[in-house]
Amino acid sequence: MSRTVSTSRIALFLLALTLGIAGCGASEPGKQTVSTAPAAGQPANPRVLIETTQGNITVEVFPGQAPQSAANFLAYVKKGFYDGLVFHRVIPGFMIQGGGMAPDMTEKPNGAPIRNEADNGLKNLRGTLAMARTGDPHSATSQFFINVNDNAFLNHRGKSVEGWGYAVFGQVVDGMQVVDAIVAVPRGNRGPHGDVPIEPIVMHRVSVLPEAPSPAEAPKQ
């Protein structure tokens, strides 16, 4: 079964849009109230480059706040799991989802599920990277989504099935315009799947970027 943001939560989102409280789609990613900076003495947060048919997206991953989610995502990246997969579900005003489907909409076998870390204080703001899952709060594997709006209804509210929320583990730091282009493409149905881009949005290559040298380590001119 494809990992999805649950139907009931989509219904809440649509209601929020109707009431005009789902956010206005600001051009820049949102700002967290919880610090995502690495602790003193720790390495810089890893950055991952997602090269797509629409352009490049760079995301920063937060191991300090979401250690299991970050390690899980980076492990898939390092073994080339995402290369050739697609953003298979795009909903304007909501999010783009990928990391599990091939261009023909067959699901790629993935690994074991991980614990839901949505209780880490990070919010599903515009530009954040979060784990997709089924109705089971602890069912996330390889699929992820990027919020294109401030989706407060996806945040952790309590340790119940309905309240767990969706775990944020990263943030777009470059290429949000590409995310906005992806969410705006024409979409339709493919078999049982809805909101599928008519033309596949392929992730040609997903890779961990080299860590930038600190000022003390930077080569001299």
What is 133-188 written as a DSSP string? B-SSTT---S-EEEESS--GGGS---SSTTT----EEEEEEE-HHHHHHHHTS-EE
On the CB side of 203, how many CA atoms lie within 13 Å of its CA? 27
In this structure, what are the phi and psi dihedrals at residue 184, rounded to the nearest 5 degrees? Answer: -95, 0
Contact yes or no for 66/168 (Cβ under 8 A): yes
Helix (H, G, I), strand (E, B) or coil at 87: strand
Residue 15 has pLDDT above 50, yes or no: no
pLDDT score recorded for residue 5: 57
Residue ranges of domains in the chain:
7-31+44-208
Separation of alpha carbons 98 and 200, rounded Å: 11
- pTM, two decimals, is 0.85
pLDDT score recorded for residue 42: 83
Torsion angle, CA of 176/180/185/190, rounded to 10 degrees? 80
User: Which residues touch 68 (CB under 8 Å, ≥6 apart)?
Assistant: 114, 115, 117
Separation of alpha carbons 109 and 221, rounded Å: 48
pLDDT score recorded for residue 22: 37
Residues 50-79: tens digit of each pLDDT: 999 999 999 999 999 999 999 999 999 999
Least confident residue range of 24-28, 59-63, 173-177, 178-182 = 24-28
Separation of alpha carbons 197 and 205, rounded Å: 19
Residue 4 has pLDDT above 70, yes or no: no
Considering only the top CATH level, what class is 7-31+44-208? Answer: mainly beta
pLDDT score recorded for residue 216: 42
Distances 60 to 31, 66, 120, 192, 221 between C-alpha atoms, Å: 14, 12, 16, 33, 28
- The amino acid present at 33, given as its one-letter code, is T
Residue 184 has pLDDT above 70, yes or no: yes
